[in-house]
Amino acid sequence: MNNPGILVLSDGAFFEGVSVGHAGHVSGEVVFNTAQTGYQEVLTDPSYTEQLIVFTQPHIGNVGVNSFDMESDRIFAKGAIMRNISTIASNWRAENTLQNFLKEQKFIALSEIDTRALTHHLRQFGSQSGCIMTGNIDYEKAHQYAKNYSGLLGKDLVQEVTTKKSYSWGQQKNKHHIVVYDFGVKRSILNCLSKLNCAVTIVPAMTSVEEIVSLKPNGIVLSNGPGDPAACTYAIDAIKKLLIYKIPMMAICLGHQLLALASGAQTQKMIFGHHGANHPIQDMNTCVVSISSQNHGFVVSEENLPSCLNVTHRSLFDSTIAGIERTDTPAFGFQGHPEAGPGPIELTLLFKQFKSMIEKSYA
C-alpha cells in the first residue's frame, strides 16, 4: 500500500492517502456514509452510481466480502475513501478480502485519508464533485477533473443501471404476483418481497404501462435507484397512468420520489443528503420512532404538496419528508431502505403493510 493517492474536491480542498484499488483517476459526487457495517452492500448498491463514498467508520474491510451480501452483480459506486482498510479478513463467511475484491473489480479507492476532516468539510460546504487520482498524481489535473464533473442534478442514471430484460425472483407459484420496476433495485428488496410468499417479476425501467398491466400484477413496487428523479420523465408518466388502475403500489427511495412527482409534488437536491444506517424516522400517525437505513441526495419538497398526498413519516434529523401515501388510491412511498441492507430491520414491517394492502384489494 505504498502507491500514493489524492482526493481533490471541486472547491480545491485536497486529502492525501494511498491507493488500495485500481490505478487511475475517477470523478463523481463525494458523499459520506455513516453506517457502522455493510460496506459491501453499500458499494454494490446501484443507488450509489456516480458517487465517491466516504466511509466515516474508521476501519473498513474487517470481515472481508462474500457472494451472499452482494446487492447486485458488481460494484456500482464510482470510488471509495477510507481512513483505514483491513488487508486481512476475519469472519467465517468471508470468501475474499476487500482489497482483493476492489482490485478484481478494477475499482479505484483510497485509504489513510483523514475522513473525519473530510466529513466535516462536506457537512459545512455540502456534497460536491471530486476526483480520486492514484499513481502519477497531478493536483491541477485532478482539480480540473473535479470541477468539470457535471454533478447529479438533472441527470438520469436509471437507464445505466436498470435490467435489460425482465426476469423472475423466488418462487413463482405463490398467490400474489408483484411486478418490480427496476430503477436500480437491490437484491435485499427482492428477497423481502419473496419472503412474503409472493411471485416477483422484475422489469426494465422503460417498460410500458400496457406491458405492466398485461402481467396482471396484484402489486407494483417502484424500486430504489440513482440520480435525479425529476430527470426520469418516462417513469413519472408511466406511474401517473398506473395510479389510475388502483393497483396497490409500494415505492422505495428513488421510487418514493417518483411517486411524489407523479402525484404532482416536487423534489429538490439536498445539501449533503442522507447516507447511513442510523437515521431516526418518526411515523406521523403513531409517533413511533424507528431507526432506518437511508441513501438519498434528493428529497420531496414541502412546497406546493398536493392534497392527494399525506405525509406519513419524517426524518428526526432535519424534519424532511420520509414517507407519503396517496389519499385516493392504494399507494405509499418510503424515502429510506426498509429492506435494511445494510441497517436495522425495524422498518421491514412496511413490506407486510404492502402485502396487507394487496390482500385488502381483493375484498
108 in helix, strand or coil? coil
- The answer to whether 307 and 338 have CB atoms below 8 angstroms apart is no
Q: What is the C-alpha separation between 130 and 256, in angstroms, rounded?
A: 28
Paired with 45 in beta bridges are: none
> What angle separates helix 254-262 from helix 233-244, to the nearest 10 degrees?
70
Cell of 313: 413519516
Is 253 a residue of the active site?
A: yes
Strand 198-204 to 59-60 pairing: unpaired
Strand 79-81 to 84-85 pairing: unpaired
- Choosing from 25, 274, 275, 337, which is the catalytic residue? 337
- Choosing from 41, 192, 253, 279, which is the catalytic residue? 253
The secondary structure of residue 49, as a DSSP letter, is B
Is 339 a residue of the active site?
A: yes
Q: What is the C-alpha separation between 130 and 144, in angstroms, rounded?
A: 9
Mind telling me the catalytic residues? 253, 337, 339
